[in-house]
Structure 1
Amino acid sequence: MKLPPLKSLPVFEAVARLNSFSLAAHELAVSQSAVSHQIKQLETYLGEKLFWRSGRTLTLTDEGRQYLESISSALLQIERASEQLLGHEESRLRLSVFSSFAVRWLAPRLPELQRTHPQVELSLEMSSENPVLSDRVADCFITIKPDSPAFSYELLYKERLFPVCSQDFWQRIRRELVLDDVSGDVDSVSLTPQQVALFPLLSTHSIYDKQGGDWEAWYQEAGLTLPASSRLLHSSHMLLSLEAARFHQGIALTNDYMLSTRKDSEDFVRLPCHTVMTGDEFFFAWKTSRRSERGIQLLRRWLVSAAISGGLRSD
């Protein structure tokens, strides 16, 4: 078996991750010259330049980036295999997840994960966009693009949108539509899309990547077009639209995981209207080569169980 100088591999990984020879030296508790020596030794063995150095600027070459992608997973597997043999039960995992999913669904459930699997130490890496599936980013992911053949996927949720408003705004709707002759229970009435259009509509740009795209899709689902007279209030993120709805600014389109706690069910009213599927499906993703890691499988099973018990996914 022909292997590179093994001592140089964690040094290379640290320099690439920290983008600095001095920071890597500090983390590894060695001198900066020792770090430089290890990188030079590795480059000599590989016959490739791994970093471009320009003054104080340090960047990976294309070859360095490709090499890092390959060895990061191997180093992690060596570390975890060694921990298992040493009897260390802890599983330290980095989970990359959409910020809205993390804040509204995952974070309130983390105490349950800690009680159920105290050996799993989870670090969240929040992202505003779909994460890049790479060990450099995280150990596992929640993604809407299951397109990497190197990864395995478990479905958690198929996204649907439905209109909600605050309790106070619901009372305004009842007054303006003269619904006082029916009970206050939202299930006792039915609102048409034309009636919904009479009130301010809180729109989220990020869902369909266009202003008003979410409400256009909602009206199209009913075989209608968004009325030209509609008053749209735009936000970049669903979290902002939902907060605007909480403070009585209008009607927002949201999804199931955004309203997944008891407190939220008390703050908002889900209007008696149709839903629209966005086409986005949320998957838990992990590298297939790491499928035997106990921590990843514990987290996978817990996420699936929580998604089922919370109504995101059917059993």
Structure 2
Amino acid sequence: MNMTPLKSLPVFETVARLNSFSLAANELNVSQSAVSHQIRILENYLGESLFHRQGRNLELTKEGKQYLDAISSSLLQINEATNRLKGVQKTHIRLAVYSSFAVYWLIPRLPELKRLHPSLELSIEMSHHSPDLSDRTADFFITVEKEKRGFLFESLYQEELFPVCSHQYFETIKNKLNITSTQELSDKLKTTPSLLAQFPLITSYSIYDSHTEDWRRWFANLKQPLPSTIQFHRFSHLMLAYEAAKHSLGIALVNDYMMNEKYEETPLTRLPCRAFKTGDNFHLAYKESRKNEDAIRHLKQWLKEEANSLPRF
């Protein structure tokens, strides 16, 4: 039987992960020539080039990416089986998560995770878009994706957007509308949501890949057209819209998870009017082959418990 050169596989994984022959040599505590030799053995066996080499730049070929995805889970399973037999449990886990979720919701809650699971080491991989579901990216994902072969998905929550502004700007709104109480403002906005068009509205591009589309959908949810008189402040990302609202630039639409009511630290206040669902459902995702790992189970359970505590409007 013509056996796969197993000794070359962890060398290939390390080079691909670090994108460097020299860094892989340092991690594996061997010479760079030994690393190159193992990669050459594997490429000769497969009959395929696994890396593009252009000077100092190194990049996986299409075949290299496919091969890495195919063998990564097997290498992880071998490593986990070895550690379990030795009585060693994996405590380090990489979590890929959207940037706004990481900054406004996850990080403020990490002290509680550390208190409950002090041996769990968490690395945060932040992404502006849906992260690539691959071992090369992370071990655990929060994503709007909901299916990929070899992965398990569990629903976390449905995203909602609602209008917010700074506490100072909230008073400005009441004064301009000659309103003294929050209840009175709520009553007026329920009957005449277009009152918001009297104030600058902050729009972000990142959710719908279009400025003003967030507000158009908010008004449409109330069966109202988008008023043509609105002055918009345009930003590329929801995080920038949040910061603009915080500095009293106007009224923004933000996610429920960005408000962080659990710790009452938010510099924003929610206007007393309806939220609407964006249509994005967030899921927890991880390799099916890793579902019994303690680190995966603990992180999954904690995230679901914390998500269940999100205020629903």
TM-score in terms of structure 1 length = 0.92
Cα distance change, pair 89–16 in 1 and its aligned pair in 2 (3 A)? closer
Deviations 1:192-220 (A, max 9, x none): 32111110101111111111010010011
Q: For residue 68 of structure 1, what is the aligned residue in structure 2?
A: 68
Shift of the alpha carbon at 1:27? 1.9
Q: For residue 39 of structure 1, what is the aligned residue in structure 2?
A: 39
Q: For residue 169 of structure 1, what is the aligned residue in structure 2?
A: 169
1:195-214, aligned counterparts within 5 Å?
Answer: 195-214=195-214
Q: For residue 85 of structure 2, what is the aligned residue in structure 1?
A: 85
Q: For residue 239 of structure 1, what is the aligned residue in structure 2?
A: 239
Q: For residue 215 of structure 2, what is the aligned residue in structure 1?
A: 215
1:291-306, aligned counterparts within 5 Å?
Answer: 291-306=291-306
Deviation larger for 255-264 or 210-219? 255-264
Q: For residue 6 of structure 1, what is the aligned residue in structure 2?
A: 6
Deviation larger for 236-245 or 121-130? 236-245
Contact 1:89 1:119 in 2 (8 A): no
SS across alignment from 2:272: coil
Deviation larger for 265-274 or 245-254? 265-274
SS across alignment from 2:160: strand
What RMSD in Å do the two structures reach over aligned CA positions? 2.1
Rounded to whole Å, the distance in 2 between the matches of 1:172 and 1:12 is 61
Cα distance change, pair 312–22 in 1 and its aligned pair in 2 (3 A)? farther
Q: For residue 149 of structure 2, what is the aligned residue in structure 1?
A: 149
Contact 2:165 2:252 in 1 (8 A): yes
Cα distance change, pair 90–17 in 1 and its aligned pair in 2 (3 A)? closer
Cα distance change, pair 309–114 in 1 and its aligned pair in 2 (3 A)? same
Shift of the alpha carbon at 1:74? 1.5
Q: For residue 224 of structure 2, what is the aligned residue in structure 1?
A: 224
Shift of the alpha carbon at 1:278? 0.4
Q: For residue 107 of structure 2, what is the aligned residue in structure 1?
A: 107
SS across alignment from 1:78: helix
Contact 2:152 2:287 in 1 (8 A): yes
Shift of the alpha carbon at 1:303? 0.7
How many residues are aligned here? 311
SS across alignment from 2:206: helix
Contact 1:90 1:121 in 2 (8 A): no
% identical equivalent positions: 52
Structure 1: tracts of 5 or more residues without a match: none
Structure 2: tracts of 5 or more residues without a match: none
Question: What is the identity, as a one-letter code, of the residue corresponding to 1:117?
Answer: H
Deviation larger for 219-228 or 287-296? 287-296
Question: What is the identity, as a one-letter code, of the residue corresponding to 1:287?
Answer: K
1:187-202, aligned counterparts within 5 Å?
Answer: 189-191=187-189, 192-202=192-202
Cα distance change, pair 184–281 in 1 and its aligned pair in 2 (3 A)? closer
TM-score in terms of structure 2 length = 0.93
Rounded to whole Å, the distance in 1 between the matches of 2:225 and 2:3 is 64
Shift of the alpha carbon at 1:82? 1.8
Deviation larger for 43-52 or 102-111? 43-52
Shift of the alpha carbon at 1:143? 0.3
Deviations 1:149-169 (A, max 9, x none): 321111111011111111111
Shift of the alpha carbon at 1:222? 1.0
Cα distance change, pair 300–263 in 1 and its aligned pair in 2 (3 A)? closer
Shift of the alpha carbon at 1:72? 1.4
Rounded to whole Å, the distance in 2 between the matches of 1:176 and 1:82 is 68
